[in-house]
């Protein structure tokens, strides 16, 4: 059985609240899960301790059984020091859009012109 540690969405419309669960990867996002490991509330400030809560001992147990965390859960585990930090590379995400590139080029040309 392929296990995942992932988020299961709860809460009402436009008020998300997530449970961190250990589930079979074939089950739907909000469907059946094996164990609830913690919670994540994205509406709370990022520096708050209540934003992400989970039972580290149970997470370690599931990781030892071969469960794979999803990207978002892996970030939570990295912040807690339970998983080694992985490098992420998405060069397209960091590149500004076409309009922003045009504005930057125009600004650089204007600055070079005024410097002369």
Domain ranges of the chain: 3-92
Q: Which of 32, 26, 116 is nearest to 8 (CA)?
A: 32
pTM: 0.73
Q: Which of 49, 31, 29 is nearest to 39 (CA)?
A: 49
**What CATH fold (topology level) applies to the domain 3-92?**
S16 Ribosomal Protein; Chain: A; (3.30.1320)
Share of the chain above pLDDT 70, in %: 99
Burial of 19 by CB count in 10 Å (0-12 exposed, 13-18 middle, 19+ buried)?
A: middle
How far is it, in rounded angstroms, from Cα 101 to Cα 75?
A: 30
Q: What's the pLDDT at 16?
A: 94
Question: Are 108 and 100 contacting, i.e. CB atoms less than 8 angstroms apart?
Answer: no
Mean pLDDT within 67-79: 92
């Amino acid at each position: 059985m392929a296990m995942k540690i992932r988020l299961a969405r709860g809460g009402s419309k436009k008020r998300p609240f997530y449970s961190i669960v250990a589930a079979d990867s074939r089950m739907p996002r909000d469907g059946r899960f094996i164990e609830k490991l913690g919670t994540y509330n994205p509406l709370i400030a990022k520096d708050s301790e209540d934003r992400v809560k989970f039972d580290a001992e149970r997470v370690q147990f599931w990781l030892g059984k071969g469960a794979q965390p999803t990207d978002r859960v892996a970030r939570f585990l990295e912040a807690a020091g339970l998983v080694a930090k992985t490098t992420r590379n998405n060069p397209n995400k960091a590149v500004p859009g076409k309009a922003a590139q045009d504005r930057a080029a125009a600004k650089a040309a204007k600055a070079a012109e005024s410097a002369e």
